[in-house]
Amino acid sequence: MKEGKKKPIDIIIPAKDNWDYTKNCLSTLSKNTSYPYRVIFVDNGSKEETKKAEKDTLQSLFPKSHKFIGFPKNKGWIKAANEGIFESESEYIVLSNNDVRYGKDWLTPLVRAANQDEDLGIIASTAATSVQRWDIHCNRLGIHLPVSLSPENESALASWLQTNIPLAKSLVYVQHPVAFLCVLLRWKMVEELGFLDEDFEIGLGEDDLYCKKALYRGWKIGVCLHSYVWHHGRTTFSSEFPDEWRSMQQRNQILGRKKWENFLKENTSDTSNARMQIGEREKEEKKSTLGKDIEDLLAAAIYPPRRSSVENQILFFAGIVIATNAKLVFESGTGWGNSSRAFLIGLEKTDGFLYSCDPVKQFNFEAPRLRYFQCKSQELSKKWNGKMDGKFDIAFIDGSHERKDVEFDVQFSLKLLKNFGILIMHDVSTGQEMHRHVKQSWENFRKEGITFLSFPGLGLYQKK
C-alpha cells in the first residue's frame, strides 16, 4: 500500500444494546481517527430504539463511510464479526468491541506496523480494562507511566505513549494469543485461515484459537504501543448472560483445547507449516534417536519473530544437557514448552528429569521425565523448603520479567544448583524495555559468564 494512496480500513463493530457504550465508542472513533476508514456496524438484535439511535449516529458521524447490518436476534459476537468480515473490501480489517473508547490517532500506528512487516497477521492495540489489569499489562510490556495518568483517560494516555515510546520500540512481538477487542487483521491471512470459528457460539475463546492457528501458519502477532484504547469489558456478556457467562467461558476453554488438539492432528503432515505449531509428540510414539527428536521439535516449535534464533536455542538446550551429563534440570517459566522439550530430549539420553514451573499451563504434551508444577517459583520454593537445594545440574530462567520475580528466580536458581552447576538466563540482550530487569540481573554475572545469540540473548554462568 503506497503512503500517497491510503485505502480505507474497514472497522467492524458488533453491538447488542448498551447504547451508552456504543455512543462513546462511535464518538471517540470519529474524533480520534485520522487514517481513512469505513465503519461496518453489525447490530445483534438490539431494541428498536437502540437501532434507531445507532443508525442516526452512524449517519451523522460517518455519512459516506459506514454500512449498517442488522440481525433480528442476537447471533453472538462471532457471527456478527464474520458477517462484517464477509462484507469487508479492505486490505486490513479491524475487529472491535463496541465498549471501547479509542485514543488519539489509534489506527495509523496499526497500519504503519502492518505495512512495515508483511508477516504480521494480527496487531492488537494496547488496551486497558481496569486499573489493576492495566498495571499488570504495563509491567509485561515494559511501560512505566506517571502515577497521575489514568488508563481511563484514553486521549491523554495515547498522547503520552506516542510521545514517550520511540517509534522503533512501539511494536512488541508476542508468541501468545491476544484478545480481539481491538485488533487489525491482514486480509491475506484471513483468506488463508478463514472466518472465526462459530462453534464457540456467542464468543469467549475463539480469538485464542485463531491466534494459535495464525502462529502455526507462520504469521506473526504484535502489540502496538502507539495504539491505545480503553475497554470497559464484558458489558454485553454481563448484561445478556449475567449468571451464565463464566460457565460459558469454561465450556469454551475446554472446546478450544479439543479443537486445537484436532487441528494439530489434522495438520502434522503439513511439513511446510509444521514449524509453527505448538508441538505434541503422539503419545504412542516410543523412544527415538536424538536426531529425529530434534528434527521433530524444530518442526513443531512455535517461533517468535524470525530474528530470535529459536532453532539454535533448541539445539543448545538439548546439547548442554548431554555434554554435561545433567541428571536434574530446573526451569522457571515453562511457557509453550519449546525449551522444556529440548531439555527433555537431552535428559532422555542422560536418564535425567526436568522440574519446571509456570502459573499458567500453555503447553500441550506429556513426558515421563517432566515434573510440572503449575505455580510461580516463589510458591515452589515454599513447597520445597530447601529440600532440593544443591541438587540440580542446570537451572534455566525464562519466567516473569518483573524485577522482583527476576531477582527471586536468580537467587532461587543459584540455591538449587550444585557447585559448578550451570545457570542459563533468557532475554539478556533483546534491547526491549520489558526485558530490562533481566538484563540488569545478568550484569552481575556478565564478567564471569558467557553471552551469546544476539537476539534474544542467552546468558550462561557456572556456579562457583
CATH superfamily, domain 9-263, is: Spore Coat Polysaccharide Biosynthesis Protein SpsA; Chain A (3.90.550.10)
Percent of the chain with pLDDT over 90: 44
pLDDT in tens, 130-169: 444 555 556 556 667 776 777 778 888 888 889 988 898 8
The confidence band for 276, taking pLDDT boundaries of 50, 70 and 90, is: very low
Separation of alpha carbons 206 and 196, rounded Å:
7
Task: Return the closest-CA partner of residue 228 out of 130, 128, 126, 304.
Answer: 126
Residue-averaged pLDDT of the chain = 81
Question: What's the pLDDT at 123?
Answer: 96
Place of cell 491482514: 186
> 456: cis peptide before it, omega within 30°?
yes
pLDDT at 388: 94
pLDDT in tens, 97-137: 999 999 999 999 999 999 999 999 999 998 866 444 555 55
How far is the C-alpha of 12 from the C-alpha of 298, rounded, in Å? 37
Report whether pLDDT(272) > 70: no
What pLDDT, in 10s, does the model give residues 341-357?
Answer: 899 999 999 999 999 99
Q: Cell numbers for 428, please give them.
A: 539478556
The pLDDT, as a whole number, for residue 57 is 97
Mean pLDDT of 2-23: 83
Q: Find, among 204, 338, 199, 311, the residue nearest to 259 by Cα.
A: 199
Distance CA 336, CA 300 (A): 11
Q: What is the pLDDT of residue 285?
A: 34
pLDDT at 287: 34
> Where is pLDDT greater, at 305 or 225?
225
Is domain 292-462 in CATH 3.60.40.10, yes or no? no
Write the CB contacts of 215 (distance below 8 Å, at least 6 apart in sequence): 175, 221, 276, 278, 302, 303
| pLDDT: which is higher, 297 or 315 | 315
Q: 361 vs 150, which has greater pLDDT?
A: 361
The least confident of 17-21, 252-256, 332-336 is 252-256
What span, in angstroms and rounded, lies between the C-alpha atoms of 175 and 335?
10
How far is Cα 391 from Cα 118, in angstroms, rounded to an integer? 47
Q: How confident is the model at residue 303 (pLDDT cuts 50, 70, 90)?
A: very low
Return all residues near 349 (Cβ < 8 A) that are at least 6 apart. Answer: 290, 321, 322
Three-state secondary structure string covering 233-259: CCHHHHHHCCCCHHHHHHHHHHHHHHH
Residue intervals in the chain for CATH 3.90.550.10: 9-263
Handedness of CA 432, 435, 440, 446 (dihedral sign): negative
Quick one: pLDDT at residue 94?
Answer: 97
pLDDT: is 327 or 6 the higher one? 327
Instruction: Give the N- to C-terminal CA distance of the chain in Å, as an integer.
Output: 57
Domain limits, CATH 3.40.50.150, in the chain: 292-462
Element housing 372 (H / E): strand 370-373
Each residue of 399-423: pLDDT tens digit?
A: 888 889 999 999 999 999 999 999 9
Name the residue with higher pLDDT: 7 or 115.
115
Is 70 exceeded by the pLDDT of residue 430? no
Answer whether residue 30 shows pLDDT above 50.
yes
The CA-based angle 297-327-446, given to 5 degrees, is 80
Which of 6-15, 385-394, 454-463 has the lowest average pLDDT? Answer: 454-463
Of 120-134, 227-241, 272-286, least confident by mean pLDDT is 272-286
What is the predicted pLDDT for the residue at 413? 95
Cell of residue 383, nine digits: 513447597
